[in-house]
Amino acid sequence: MSVHITSPDFKANARKALADAPLQQALAKVGPGFIGKRAAAADKLPEFKALRDSARDIKNHTLAHLDLYLERFETKARAAGGHVHFAVDAAQARDIVLDICRQLGAKTVTKGKSMISEEIALNDHLEANGIEPVETDLGEYLIQIRGEGPSHIIAPAIHLNKEQVEADFRRVHADLPPERNLSEPTALLAEARGKLRERFLAADVGITGANFLVAETGTSIIVTNEGNGDLTQTLPKAHIVLASLEKLVPTLEDVSQLLRVLARSATGQEMSVYTTFSTGPRRADDLDGPGEYHVVILDNGRSGMLAGQFREMLRCIRCGACMNHCPVYHAVGGHAYGWVYPGPMGAVLTPSLIGIEKGRNLPNASTFCGRCEQVCPVRIPLPKLMRNWREKEFERHLTPATQRYGLAFWAFFARRGWLYRPATRAAMAVLALAGKARGRFSKLPLAGGWTQYREFPAPEGGTFQAQWAARTSAQKSAR
């Protein structure tokens, strides 16, 4: 897995994605797969809208007192026998994890799904240091054996088709009989399960992400549908939780509210199949559990977001509803976004984490259709935040020159009505005349972006304002 940043090449990535037939086939299932299920789950719950308000308020409250809740979490987790580590950036987080693994002499590390692990490129770091990471979430396992990054925050291999998975399994699981039947998804699942079972038992350390960290109890929580997270975290000698600091919530009561919107927004389930609470390592009278429990809390630029205009992004609970409803995501998929977080949430978060210079394409590649904000369970105003990035980009003169000059040219006239009216009138007269015969243009100077794919309609001729002025003066003289 690699987290090489290709966000600056979004346009080229998008073109490639649009021409990728198997990808387009896989993407065609994203909308139908998620949208209807979320809508049905939301409609069944009369208080869903109120729950979203409540979820937003819980996260806002937590962010307003984040220092307090971080300290509280640390105290409680330590009291339960756990270790809490704060990592300022990705490099520090990687080193903390590596140190823990080394102290335990770890050779194999199993991993539950963690976007923070992707963000800090943990697998590369572990491999470079002689430790083998094994992804145990089926989707993560698939992209690991393909050497890819996730294309969706909750369905990392959504860009793949069954046939591709079968081919990968035949390539990677070379010890299994080649004549085995893998045509059914259940066969693929059973094979992955068999392969992973060996790895669960061999692992020295288990690493998971966290959907929530609960301040009042020092508990980390993961939600999964495969049960792999439980095996990852209970079987090895140590369980390491990777979480970013906005995962904090004050109480278990708050978590129970957030869980009610999370799965419904994500997959349309009322609850995910497994919701696992972990507090500290195995106690003396516990039947199982890890000997050590570590929580690595990553900042990586987020505390800077707290003070600025992107603070609301820290409410995100990573349900993926924004990308599931995004026409741009549906068209190009997650890899085109060029880093770890795709879709509308990625378009806001990515520039915060890797810088607007590298991330500028992402908040621009949106039609502002507003569907993401409409479904966000914590009511993040995603289009507004994307627009805020465009403002930062404009202020810092990062907008491409052609767009900037074009905008300035247009603005010069729009701010001067006395010039705008004759200028538009003259321009439209020329265009109307040129397009009179066909009523439209297939090619037009300076409009290549448009006419490459569409006809451009010819104007009717004469502006409305000019015609209206003529009409009213004719009416006056008639009186």
Considering the complex, what minimum distance in angstroms separates the CB of residue 464 from other proteins?
4
Selected from 238, 373, 377, 380, the binder of other proteins by CB under 8 A is 373
Beta strands in 225-266 (DSSP E): 238-244, 248-249
Selected from 332, 340, 353, 380, the binder of other proteins by CB under 8 A is 332
Whichever of 190 and 434 has its CB closer to other proteins, that residue is 434
Is position 21 an interface residue for other proteins (rule: CB under 8 A)? no
Whichever of 355 and 457 has its CB closer to other proteins, that residue is 457
Is position 366 an interface residue for other proteins (rule: CB under 8 A)? yes
Contact of 111 with 133, CB cutoff 8 Å = yes
Is position 357 an interface residue for other proteins (rule: CB under 8 A)? no
Is position 328 an interface residue for other proteins (rule: CB under 8 A)? yes
Considering the complex, what minimum distance in angstroms separates the CB of residue 24 from other proteins?
9
Whichever of 303 and 364 has its CB closer to other proteins, that residue is 364
Is position 405 an interface residue for other proteins (rule: CB under 8 A)? no
Is 232 in a helix, a strand, or coil? helix
Is position 393 an interface residue for other proteins (rule: CB under 8 A)? yes
Selected from 65, 78, 193, 390, the binder of other proteins by CB under 8 A is 390
Nearest to 259 by CA among 218, 206, 267: 267
Considering the complex, what minimum distance in angstroms separates the CB of residue 1 from other proteins?
26
Q: List, as own/partner pairs, every contact residues 80-83 make where C-beta atoms lie below 8 angstroms and the sequence separation is at least 24, other chains included.
A: 80/217, 80/218, 80/279, 80/280, 80/293, 81/280, 81/281, 81/283, 81/293, 82/218, 82/279, 82/280, 82/281, 82/293, 82/294, 82/295, 83/292, 83/293, 83/294, 83/295
Is position 23 an interface residue for other proteins (rule: CB under 8 A)? no
CB burial of residue 40 (10 Å; 0-12, 13-18, 19+): exposed
CA distance 384 to 373: 9
Is position 429 an interface residue for other proteins (rule: CB under 8 A)? no
Nearest to 226 by CA among 111, 126, 129: 111
Is position 331 an interface residue for other proteins (rule: CB under 8 A)? yes
Name, in order, each residue with C-beta under 8 angstroms of 447's C-beta and a sequence gap of 6 or more: 441, 456
Is position 403 an interface residue for other proteins (rule: CB under 8 A)? yes
Strands 212-214 and 248-249: parallel
Is position 15 an interface residue for other proteins (rule: CB under 8 A)? yes
Selected from 46, 445, 464, 478, the binder of other proteins by CB under 8 A is 464
CA distance 130 to 293: 22
Selected from 217, 267, 275, 463, the binder of other proteins by CB under 8 A is 463
Size of the site for other proteins (CB under 8 A): 66
Contact of 27 with 330, CB cutoff 8 Å = yes
Whichever of 15 and 283 has its CB closer to other proteins, that residue is 15
Is position 311 an interface residue for other proteins (rule: CB under 8 A)? no
How many other CB atoms sit within 10 Å of the CB of residue 459? Answer: 17
Selected from 277, 405, 409, 410, the binder of other proteins by CB under 8 A is 410
Nearest to 326 by CA among 358, 272, 378, 362: 362
How many other CB atoms sit within 10 Å of the CB of residue 236? Answer: 25
Residues 202-241 that bind other proteins (CB under 8 A): none
CA distance 75 to 83: 10
How far is CA 82 from its chain centroid? 30
Considering the complex, what minimum distance in angstroms separates the CB of residue 437 from other proteins?
4
Considering the complex, what minimum distance in angstroms separates the CB of residue 378 from other proteins?
17
Is position 6 an interface residue for other proteins (rule: CB under 8 A)? no
Considering the complex, what minimum distance in angstroms separates the CB of residue 353 from other proteins?
20
The residue ranges that bind other proteins (CB under 8 A) are: 11, 14-15, 18, 327-328, 330-332, 364-371, 373-374, 384, 387, 389-395, 399, 403, 407, 410-411, 413-415, 417, 420-421, 424, 427-428, 436-440, 442, 447, 449-450, 452-460, 462-465, 467-468
